Structure 1
Amino acid sequence: LRRAWTGDGEVHAEVALPEESVDVSGFGVHPALLDAALHAIGLLDAEAGTAPRVPFAFEGVQVHASGAEVLRVRLSRSGSGVRLVACDEAGAPVVSVDSLVLRELSGVVAPGAATRSLFELAWQADDASTIGDTSGWALLTAGEPPAGLPELPSFPDVAALVASVEASPAEAPRALLLPLPVTEAHADVPALVRAVTADVLSTVQAWLAAGVLAGSTLVVVT
């Protein structure tokens, strides 16, 4: 299916066989060419539902010429069916169908763009081992530490941690835990996502800019 146009309750399409050599002998109309001509029916029935439909009954089929490799097709409504008229590049008639009735496939859901994609989003399971030595760890949080985390030195932000490290001869923490807030059921999720993303970005930028924390690792905890 190379091109398609819609208008005035009709669909016009141009279909062609592959450019490589295809043997059209022995066919009134090559099956692949006829199949491509029928693909444009989806534009004629764009609002007819989402279930897949397949040709069910042909009436008034006439083959006027054979050997065509390119078809120009006009599709229009014919009662409950579809009328098809196809000509070659010179405008000479090749095949016509007075009525083609389609039938929906029951129990089959039309694939959406996501299911047709070559890419897939999937969570990779990772075995989490028990935390052992937490010495040299610190927590970055302005509120109460989340439940389940070990007791660690806590700082409201990177600036407070840097000030503490610079004022003390102790080494900088080797790991910084940045817990994310728990989402409430009634929360405005889009607004919360924007706010949390901005906060995390600000923290990461401050951490990267702090020379005394160059040897540390920042871990976001959800």
Structure 2
Amino acid sequence: EVPPVGVWPPVGAGVIDVSGLYGELAERGYGYGPVFQGVRAAWRLGDTVYGEIALPESVVQEAARFGLHPALCDAAAHLLQFSKVLDQDGVWLPFAWNGVRLLATGATRARVRITPLGEGSVRMDLYDVAGEPLAVVEQLTARRLDPAELQPSSTSTAAARGLFALSWPALPTPDTPQPADTIVWRPQDSGEADTWGLPAVTDLEDVPASVQVVVLPVSGRDRDVTEVSTAVLAALQAWLAEDRLARARLAVVTRGAVAVDTGVGPDAGADVVDLAASGIWGMVRTAQSEHPDRFTLLDLDPHQHADTDALLKALSVSGEPQLAWRDGQLHAPRLVRALTGG
């Protein structure tokens, strides 16, 4: 049971100056952006720390999407820095969470009580501004990290060698599109109106068995993420259940679902413009790992229209489960060694 918060702030509690908290944390190895700088006030009474945390105005409207907004949860953990169970050397990181219970949702502000348990562990109780329980963490254990361990070493470069980044190098574009037997499948309106001048059906049963590639266009622009994900999941399941098309590939075609930094043109440093479809990429990648050769992912240029010839050229590339079409050029994802500051 969550103990009541009682009088707030507690009678006799000493005020803790939090104005320099995030500057001090930065000096000790932490780095927090403005959204994650949520500590507003703090007090100490004996070994117990009390605090007030809040979301910045820029993300307040997001609170209803979460049980407890990640930035608010993180801000509660920042109050650990004032607990006497932790010394002030190095960087302390939350390590193990036990007995976590969510009692209310959608909070934008919270009151926090941190009670020491010893051995680098605390109990954390969160309340809303009316004193009603929001969440409880029966035991949160922190671990100290020496900032020196985060610095690259000239004698130890294994970590740097193991750091990779995603790159999208250009691929040779086929001169002539190969898959002649291609059809577009649009079950219950997938949100993408373009059929690229290809034959189109709404029912998978109407797809001829001779077809080599079935195109499933997906658009999440201005649509509910759950709605899009549910519809595509149903389509993937229906596709795998259709034994008649076991030799064909399903090409899930999106537009602006992945960030492809080509370094030139409108896609230089590109951002994702269709977040719902971006989630679909994750779903289809999982399906690809379980059913090799049954799925292809193709992301079209969000700034340019891809005609039938461009689409068919992209789909004629073999051995590439994921592709992107940008500025008239095909790209495929590759892991490359990341550049490090050391």
What is the TM-score with the length of structure 1 in the denominator? 0.46
TM score, norm. by length of structure 2: 0.30
Larger Rg: 1
